[in-house]
Amino acid sequence: MDNPPRAMAKVSCACGQVAFEAIGAPITSVICYCDDCQEGARQIQSLPHAASVQEPDGGTEYLVYRKDRVTCLRGASLLKTLKLREESATNRVIAVCCHSAMLVNFDDAKHWVDLYRSRCTNDVLPVQMRICTKFKPDGETIPIDVPSSSSYPKSLIVKLILAKMAMLLQR
């Protein structure tokens, strides 16, 4: 029997000049309500012609991938990073052609990147958790469709640690 095709996320900017591909299943899929994700979304959405990044309730959806699984297929020269604070290790990576938010990566040793689900052209994994809900905008109610946590839940930390171990074992 043939092996089934490997899961793959495809991420493209709105105009199509920039594309990423992520091989295999994501570590997880989250909606984050933290202050930084909300501020990042606001700054990106204020750029000319930018597509929306946030959900109406203030959450931002991400596919969390091992960084060794994510490749830029085209348009790398059109990428620009946005830092909310100069000293921050966190970069929001934007395609300057159409101001699409592509992914979040880190200057430090973090072993994952967060792809913006809003730019993902195929559905690879349903949302698994809502995180950092203590920062949700006033008046918003967090849906109870998936588990949610006021900060970073243990289940997320465990998934990230397991992914790191798999990386070290080169699996």
Kindly report each contact of residues 141-146 with a partner whose C-beta sits within 8 Å and lies 24 or more positions away, as own/partner: 141/57, 142/33, 142/57, 143/57
Q: By CB under 5 A, tell whether 37 contacts Zn ion.
A: yes
Kindly state whether residue 97 participates in binding Zn ion, applying the rule CB under 5 A.
Answer: yes
**Which backbone phi and psi does 42 adopt, to 5 degrees?**
-60, -45
Say whether residue 27 binds Zn ion (CB under 5 A): no
- By the rule CB under 5 A, 13 interacts with Zn ion: yes
Stretch that binds Zn ion, among 45-53, 91-99, 111-119, 139-147 (CB under 5 A): 91-99
50 contributes a contact to Zn ion by CB under 5 A: no
Q: Could you say whether residue 41 binds Zn ion (CB under 5 A)?
A: no
Candidates 89-97, 106-114, 115-123, 156-164: pick the segment binding Zn ion (CB under 5 A): 89-97
Spatial neighbors of 93 by CB under 8 A, at least 6 apart, are 79, 80, 81, 82, 101, 102, 103, 104, 105
At residue 153, what are phi and psi to the nearest 5 degrees? -70, 155
By CB under 5 A, is residue 104 in contact with Zn ion? no
Contacting residues toward Zn ion, per CB under 5 A? 13, 15, 17, 32, 34, 37, 95, 97-98
